[in-house]
Amino acid sequence: MASEEVEDTGKFYGDAKKYWESIEPTVDGMLGGFAKISPTDINGSKAFLRPFLQVGGGKTAATKALDCGAGIGRITKRLLLPIFNTVDMVELNQKFLDQARTFIGEESSRIGKLFCSGLQDFTPEEGQYDVIWCQWVLGHLLDKDLSAFLLRCQKGLSPNGLIVIKENVTSTEKKDFDDQDSSFIRSYEDFTQLILNTGLQIVKKERQKGFPKGLYDVYMYAVR
């Protein structure tokens, strides 16, 4: 099932909203029962991001980040807040946002704005963010909405800012459609080409290592 074959976009987005409303606001809920992969995931993300940051010899500041599809704030807590002064979060499910400050704990005072919105309807404020982090969420966007969202994110970047995308990819040429949570898993080639077609530049890409066998490959892209 390709995105061009989705006849009812309202149902596509509505089904995803219903699915996540049924999920418990826990790390295991956010990761579909695979909470055990979280440390490996976070360590891989840190290693990927660090060379771009001023503290790692790069040019990207560490003032403000945006966590897209943030859930209860797993990435905000374990990856972004240890690096950035302030983190804003955008998440479709209000229940997850309501849990975020409790889950994040003592560092929650450095969470900035909480936006309850699907990414297809969200526009980052221009020039605000050193890093916009999008992980395991872009499969919930149709191709045209994903392209438009990435272009809005580009405008949301500060000087030397970066969009980081981390997503599952298929090993085949076709998209996989998950009718349980109403999302696509795109092929590596398809995802790469979709990014390039927006005019954005891929400055680095890398496969996440160390995940259990049997899971989809996960790729990280740094784009601007």
Residues of the binding site: 69, 74, 119-120, 135
List the binding residues for S-adenosyl-L-methionine.
Answer: 69, 74, 119-120, 135
Say how far apart CA 64 and CA 130 lie, in whole Å.
Answer: 6
Residue whose pair of structure tokens reads 């398809």 in the numeric block: 190
Of 57, 69, 75, residue with least CA distance to 153: 69
The four Cα atoms 99, 100, 101, 103 give a dihedral, to 10 degrees, of: 80
Say how far apart CA 82 and CA 8 lie, in whole Å.
Answer: 41
Q: Terminal CA-to-CA distance of the chain, rounded, Å?
A: 30
